[in-house]
Structure 1
Amino acid sequence: MLEWYEVGIGLLTLLILFIVMGLPIPFALAGASIPFLLSIQSFSTTLVTAELKMWGVWGDYVLLSVPLFVFLGELIGRSNIGPNLYWFMHSKVPVKGSAAYGSVAACAGFGAVCGSSMVGSLTIGGVALPAMLKLGYDKRLASGVLAAGGTLSVLLPPSLILLFYGIVTDQSIGQLFIAGVMPGIVLVMLFFVVIKVWNMVNSNAIPSSDDSDSIPWGLALSAVLPVIVIGFIITISIYAGIATPTEAAGLSCVITLLLSFAVGGMNLKGLNEAIKATMKTMGYLGLLLSAGVLFGFVMTYYQVPQEFSALFTSFELSPYETLALIILFYIALGMFLEPVSMTFITLPTLFPLIQASGFDLIWFGVIYTITMEVAVLTPPVGLNLYVIQSIEKNQLTIVDVIKGCLPFIGVLVSLIILMIAFPGIATWLPNIMG
Structure 2
Amino acid sequence: MEWYYVAIGLLGLLLLFISIGVPIPFALVGASLPFLWTIQDFSTSLMSNQLQLWRTWIDYILLSVPLFVFLGELIAKSNLGEKLYEAFYRGTSVRGAAAYGSIGACAGFGAVCGSSMVGSLTIGGVALKQMLRLGYDKRLSAGILAAGGTLSVLIPPSLILLFFGIVTDTSIGKLFIAGIIPGIILTVMFFSIILIWKKLDDKAVPRKENIEKVNFRFVFFAFLPIVVVGAIIISSIYFGIATPTEAAAIGVVVTIFFSYFLGGLTWTKFKDSILATMKTMGFLGILLAGSALFGFVVEYYGIPEEITKHIAQMELSKYEILFMIMIFYFVIGMFLEPVSMTFITLPTLFPLIEYAGFEAIWFGIVYTILMEIAVLTPPVGLNLFVIQGIANKDITILDVIIGVIPFLIALVLMIALLMFEPEIAMFLTRD
TM range, smaller chain: over 0.9
**Take 2:389 and 2:420, find their aligned partners in 1: how far apart are those partners?**
38
Aligned to 2:326: 327
Q: CA deviation at 1:223?
A: 1.9
- Tell me if 1:49 matches 2:48: yes
Shift of 1:219: 3.0
Task: Please give the per-residue CA displacement for 1:173-199, whole angstroms capped at 9, x wherever unaligned.
Answer: 111001000000000111011111111
Residues 1:199 and 2:167 are matched in the alignment = no
What pairs with 1:184-263 in structure 2 (closer than 5 Å)? 184-263=183-262
The equivalent residue for 1:371 is 370
> Secondary structure of 1:131's match?
helix
**Contact 1:30–1:291 (CA<8 Å) still a contact in 2?**
yes
What's 1:283 paired with? 282
Inter-partner Cα distance in structure 2 for 1:214 and 1:69: 33
TM-score normalised by the chain length of structure 2: 0.99
Letter in 1 for 2:263: G
% identity of equivalent residues: 59
Contact 1:374–1:412 (Cα < 8 Å) also in 2: yes
CA distance in 2, matches of 1:430, 1:214: 40
Equivalent pair of 1:80/1:223 in contact (CA under 8 Å): no
Residue identity opposite 2:204 in structure 1: A
> 1:220 offset after TM fit, Å?
2.3
**1:116-140 CA-partner distances (Å, limit 9, x unpaired):** 0000000000000000000000000
The letter of the residue matching 2:242 is A
Contact kept? 1:144, 1:405, Cα under 8 Å: yes
Is it true that 1:420 corresponds to 2:409 in the alignment? no
Letter in 2 for 1:155: L
May I ask how many residue pairs the two structures share in their alignment?
A: 431
Name the residue aligned to 1:66.
Answer: 65
- Distance, in Å, in 1 between the alignment partners of 2:169 and 2:55 is 17
Say whether the 8 Å CA contact 2:178–2:426 is kept in structure 1.
Answer: yes
- Following superposition of structure 1 onto structure 2, how do residues 107-256 of structure 1 map, counting pairs within 5 Å? 107-256=106-255
Task: Report if the CA contact (8 A) 1:178-1:429 is conserved.
Answer: yes
Q: Tell me if the contact between 2:111 and 2:157 (Cα under 8 Å) persists in the aligned partners.
A: yes
Contact 1:81 1:222 in 2 (8 A): no
| Deviation for aligned residue 1:50 | 1.1
Q: Which amino acid aligns with 2:81?
A: G
Q: Deviations over 1:96-128 (max 9, x none)?
A: 111111100100000000000000000000000
Q: Give, as a single letter, the amino acid of the residue that structure 2 aligns with 1:304.
A: I
Question: Which letter maps to 2:321?
Answer: T
Asked whether the 8 Å contact 2:146–2:376 carries over to 1, the reply is: yes
State the match for 1:380 in structure 2.
379
Task: Tell me the secondary structure at the aligned position of residue 221 of structure 2.
Answer: helix
SS of residue in 1 equivalent to 2:256: helix
Shift of 1:3: 0.5
Q: Work out whether residues 91 and 219 of structure 2, in 8 Å CA contact, stay in contact via their aligned partners in 1.
A: no
Aligned residue in 1 for 2:85: 86
CA contact (8 A) 2:236 2:242 kept: yes
Paired with 1:56 and 1:346, the residues of 2 have a C-alpha distance of: 20
* 2:335 partner SS: coil
What does residue range 307-326 of structure 1 map to in structure 2 within 5 Å? 307-326=306-325
Residue 168 of structure 1 and its aligned partner are, at CA, apart by: 0.5
**Are 2:136 and 2:204, in contact at CA under 8 Å, matched by a contact in 1?**
yes
Structure 2 segments unaligned to the other structure (5+ residues)? none
Offset at residue 392 of structure 1 (A): 1.1
RMSD between superposed Cα atoms in Å: 0.8
In structure 2, the residue matched to 1:406 is: 405
Deviation (angstroms), 1:55: 2.6
Rounded to whole Å, the distance in 2 between the matches of 1:41 and 1:69 is 37
1:256-271 alignment runs, 5 A limit: 256-271=255-270
Kindly state the Cα deviation for residue 429 of structure 1 after the two structures are TM-superposed: 1.5
SS where residue 96 of structure 1 aligns?
coil
User: What amino acid sits opposite 1:358 in the alignment?
Assistant: G
Which blocks of at least 5 consecutive residues in structure 1 are unaligned? Answer: none
- Structure 1 Cα separation of the partners of residues 344 and 238 of structure 2: 28
Cα distance in 1 for partners of 2:336, 2:96 equals 34
Deviation at 1:7, TM superposition (A): 0.4
Residue 82 of structure 1 contacts residue 124 of structure 1 at CA under 8 Å; is this kept in 2?
A: yes
Q: TM-score, normalised by structure 1?
A: 0.98
Q: How far apart, in 2, do the equivalents of 1:429 and 1:348 lie? A: 26
1:406-431 C-alpha deviation (Å, 9 max, x unpaired)? 11001100100111011111011112
Contact 1:363 1:427 in 2 (8 A): yes
Write the deviation string for residues 54-84 of structure 1: whole angstroms up to 9, x where unpaired: 2321010000000000000000111111000
Counterpart of 1:10 in structure 2 is 9
Task: Write the distance in 1 (CA, Å) between the matches of 2:217 and 2:289.
Answer: 45
What CA distance in whole angstroms lies between the structure 1 residues aligned with 2:77 and 2:67? 15
